[in-house]
């Protein structure tokens, strides 16, 4: 076992775009687990858009990270010490230990995972929080019916890629929105969407209209801004929107909302913002289906992996700029 624990802490709050100077790498002692606790050596760190909001000091659905505090984040690793009979050394677990090599916590805060058929890293992606987010938003909020059209923005990302695949399994026509030819090729070729529209193209709005001859019945929204505006204009009557994220707005000092609600009103659209942690009762069913999908190859996924904790800030900034394909992870060894 290493003699030191490496951690990335929040050094300052960003104004506008995040910079690497907002983070600080620190060394410290490896914590000792107390009664009923386990110590975990993290092997993978999940990077997710919600972390940008935690860097701000404002009212939100979850507490802000304090200056000098370890950045929050999902982790997957191995138990190296245990003071709880439910866990033994060597068990693979998923938890919320943040941006650090080692972390401890009450045993109830960890989920033991089986890596025989699903890789450990996938429990932070399609068989983890992003996958469950996709599952809840698709099944419970969008609730698409056969013959309808579902649009998902950030279609090549950790959430959007699963949304489209789940919808295709239900016989839904799926149109993805992604940035650039490489991402659209992945969405079409690997994930099997019916169409993918490049929002970076100067003909984006015309291309979107062409891809949606029958309008939009369901929108799984991850981006916001002008991309969302373009889709909202094509809603059918009684369409549904699962509002999952607004990543295009997170680094804006003065973020803008919808310029017009006319389509929402005229088409009697249902919009539901949701946070997946509000739906814990759905996690067991979702994780079972997602795990089976990944194990059998029915759900496909990609990972963009940064190597080493010191690379986490740069990788996180890249995520916010759309540099990743699929799930963004940091491999911690």
Instruction: For 148-217, give the DSSP string.
Output: -EEEEESTTBTTHHHHHHHHHHTT-EEEEEESSHHHHHHHHHTT--SEEEETTSTTHHHHHHHH-TT-EE
Q: Tokens 């609600």: give the residue.
A: 261
Q: What is the CATH number of the domain that holds 251?
A: 3.40.50.720
The per-residue pLDDT for range 249-303, each reduced to its tens digit, is 888 777 777 888 899 999 999 999 999 999 999 999 999 999 999 999 999 999 9
Same-domain check for residues 144 and 196: yes
**Taking a C-beta distance cutoff of 8 angstroms, is the pair 52, 18 a contact?**
yes
- State residue 282's pLDDT score: 97
Does 105 share its domain with 228? no
The predicted pLDDT at position 2 comes to: 53
* Spatial distance between the Cα atoms of 46 and 277, rounded to a whole number of angstroms: 16
Tally the domains of the chain: 2
Q: Would you say residue 285 lies in a domain?
A: no
pLDDT tens per residue, range 7-43: 999 999 999 999 999 999 999 999 999 999 999 999 9
Residue 295 forms part of a structural domain: no
Question: Residue 250 has what pLDDT?
Answer: 83
Dihedral sign from CA coordinates of 242, 248, 250, 252: negative
Element at 264 (helix H, strand E)? helix 262-266
For residue 129, pLDDT beyond 90:
yes
One domain for residues 168 and 247? yes
Residue 86 pLDDT more than 80?
Answer: yes
pLDDT on residue 67: 97
Cα–Cα distance between 26 and 17 in angstroms, integer? 23
pLDDT score, position 20: 97
Q: Are 31 and 104 in contact (CB under 8 A)?
A: yes
Answer whether 75's CB lies under 8 Å from 109's CB: no
39-66: burial string, b at 16+ Cβ within 10 Å, e else:
bbbbbbbbbbbbbbbbbeeeeeeeebbe
From the CB of residue 95, how many other CB atoms can be counted at a distance below 10 Å? Answer: 20
Q: What is the pLDDT of residue 168?
A: 98
Specify if 296 maps to a domain: no
DSSP for 270-283?
Answer: EEEE--GGGGGGGH
What mean pLDDT comes out for the span 168-183?
97
266 with 326, same domain? no
pLDDT at 306 over 60: yes
Structure-token pair, residue 165 = 């695949």
Average pLDDT, the chain: 95
Main-chain phi, psi angles of 172, to 5 degrees: -95, 145
pLDDT at 47: 98
**Residue 131 contacts by C-beta under 8 Å, 6 or more apart in sequence?**
125, 158, 159, 162, 286, 287, 290, 299
pTM, full prediction: 0.94
Residue 156 lies in a domain: yes
Domain that holds residue 316: 5-125+302-331
Residue 284 lies in a domain: no
Is 96 found in the same domain as 225?
Answer: no
What's residue 1's pLDDT?
53
CA angle, corner 98, sides to 109 and 308, nearest 5? 130
Both 142 and 65 in one domain: the answer is no
Beta bridge partners of 111: 94
Identify the domain boundary among 260, 277, 294: 277
Identify the pLDDT of residue 88. 97
Give a yes or no: residue 35 inside a domain.
yes
pLDDT tens digit sequence for 185-225: 999 999 999 999 999 999 999 999 999 999 999 999 999 99
Q: Are residues 170 and 262 in the same domain?
A: yes
Question: 163 and 38 in one domain?
Answer: no
């Amino acid at each position: 076992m290493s003699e030191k624990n490496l951690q990335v802490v929040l050094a300052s709050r960003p104004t506008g775009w995040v910079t690497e100077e907002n983070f600080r790498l620190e060394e410290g002692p490896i914590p000792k687990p107390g009664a009923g606790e386990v110590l975990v050596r993290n092997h993978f760190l999940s990077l997710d858009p919600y972390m940008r909001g935690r860097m701000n000091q404002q009212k939100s659905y979850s507490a802000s990270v304090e200056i000098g505090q370890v950045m929050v984040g999902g982790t997957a690793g191995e138990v190296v010490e245990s003071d709880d009979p439910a866990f033994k050394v060597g068990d693979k677990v998923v938890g919320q230990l943040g941006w650090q090599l080692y972390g401890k916590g009450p045993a109830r805060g960890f989920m033991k995972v089986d890596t025989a058929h699903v890789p450990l890293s996938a429990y932070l992606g399609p068989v983890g929080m992003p996958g469950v987010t996709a599952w809840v938003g698709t099944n419970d909020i969008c609730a698409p019916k056969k013959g309808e059209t579902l649009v998902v923005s950030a279609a090549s990302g950790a959430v959007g890629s699963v949304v489209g695949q789940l919808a295709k399994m239900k016989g839904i026509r799926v149109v993805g929105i992604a940035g650039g030819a490489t991402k659209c090729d992945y969405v079409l070729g690997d994930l099997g969407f019916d169409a993918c529209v490049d929002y970076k193209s100067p003909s984006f709005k015309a291309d979107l209209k062409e891809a949606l001859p029958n309008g939009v019945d369901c929108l799984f929204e991850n981006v916001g801004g002008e991309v969302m505006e373009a889709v909202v204009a094509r809603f059918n009557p009684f369409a549904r929107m699962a509002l999952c994220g607004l990543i295009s707005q997170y680094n804006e000092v003065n973020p803008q909302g919808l310029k017009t609600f006319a389509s929402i009103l005229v088409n009697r659209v249902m919009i539901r913002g949701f946070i997946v942690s509000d739906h814990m009762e759905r996690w067991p069913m979702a994780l079972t289906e997602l795990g089976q999908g990944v194990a059998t190859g029915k759900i496909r996924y990609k990972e963009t992996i940064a190597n080493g904790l010191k690379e986490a800030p740069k990788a996180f900034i890249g995520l916010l700029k759309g540099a990743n394909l699929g799930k963004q992870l940091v491999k911690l060894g």
